[in-house]
Amino acid sequence: MTTISYTCDSWIPVEGEMKDRISAVLLEIAERYRDPEQVRLWMKKVPPIESDGMKIERWSDESLGSGFTGICLLMGQLDRLYPEDGWDRVGHQYLERIRLVMEQQGIHDLSLYSGLAGILLAIRSLSRKGTRYQGMLDTLASWFEESALHSVALCQEQWEKGQLQMSQYDAISGFTGIGRIAMLFSDRPTMCTVWNQTIELFQVMCSDRIRNGHSVPGWHISSEHQFQENEKLQYPQGNFNLGLSHGIAGPLCFLSLSALHGADSLLLVNDIHKLAKFIHHWRVQDKEGIIWPGRVSFEEWLDDQPLPDSAQNHRDSWCYGVPGIARSIWLAGQAVQNEEWIETGLSAYLDIEKRLYRNGGLTSATLCHGVGGLLQLVQRMYSDTGHEQLGAMRNRLLEDVLNMFDSESLFGFYDHSLLAGRMEEVDEAGFLNGSAGVALVLASLIGGENPEWDAAFLIR
């Protein structure tokens, strides 16, 4: 199998008749986002998410995942595609709403998906390659740097005591996402310090701990630190989370990208090896190809083999499925020139084709756990490798996404969500579970430039 060195700058856009079809759908969706206050009003009427006996609102103004911030990424991409159509002015209106929230309420969250890291990415996406919003960016980046350095020190102290929590390290809320944004702004000396100290922080997570008389990888998550009550019951001795959104595939992507972007130390290489070996070991060869379980229980780890049903109910999603986890292995292989990991990552992507007849278990077009997210990850791997089979998969997934467009929906695509015990079609405006994210994938596919926004996915 032929491999190439990953350089982070390849992109193979869609051309021809399909490009015209994407443009027509994209512009119809985009018009629904011209008025940020109307978007917010619509979203406030959408029923909340029901999870673990709680109801969670689907909209938060300053959120990258489900607020104005994530929609800024779409406005930035539309501005690059159609610079004369005023999308920069619309993007400015979205930024103004974020600014008002920060002035009125403050912002006390550093994270990528709910806090300051995501806002920095949003401003960068609207800056026309650093020619706009530099005052705002400098002020918020300075604030981010100071807070991040303080938080790194606190986390290191807790992790050294064995008090690791997923929300502290993961891509959504933790230092995986925070570190990726620091890397993006590493031309700033203090931001470079944040980046390097985040790399060092993960050395603590990659150190073994003694638990129940066993030497256990430091990324073991105890029962009380599981997110949901049913997981606490399912994993009484804790587990090892493999997913990209909340598991160790996220830190592996961050560390591998750090190495590929010039960070250089023996300890960094050692940590990449530790995480990649663990993930590589827990792959399952299913009848439909290579699959990873989302989690490995402590009991499975002790027995050194997965349970027979560990790959059941698998979905090819970014958050917990093969696309995210295989990408982490592939990046690790590129970072340390391990051909076995590169080949495993690519093979796992090619195996996804065996599951496309059922859309890899995905039902909506959205990013986190939908076909749009799978499309973006396949597109990224296709652009990096030029593999013809991946190109054909991309085109098939693109067709599926376009067929999911519904002009009767508020924003163009539906998310599928559990409401009153039933799976329902729900209008979502945002980046992670809404139409803005799907539109962003479509806009990127017809753009000639390699997009930057999927750094938020930790895949580049």
Distance (Å, whole) CA 245 – CA 322: 12
The model carries a pTM of 0.96
Residue-level pLDDT at 427: 94
Q: 167-181, 268-282, 309-323: lowest mean pLDDT where? A: 309-323
Q: Does 319 belong to an annotated binding site?
A: yes
Mean pLDDT of 363-379: 97
Report the mean per-residue pLDDT for the chain: 94
Q: Are 136 and 144 in contact (CB under 8 A)?
A: no
Q: Does 192 belong to an annotated binding site?
A: no
Pick from 13, 35, 56: nearest CA to 433: 56
Residue 1 has pLDDT above 60, yes or no: no
Mean pLDDT of 246-267: 96
Mean pLDDT of 397-420: 91
First to last CA, the chain: 22
- Other CB atoms closer than 10 Å to residue 33's CB: what's the count? 23
Q: Does 206 belong to an annotated binding site?
A: no
Residue 34 burial (10 A CB sphere; 0-12, 13-18, 19+): middle
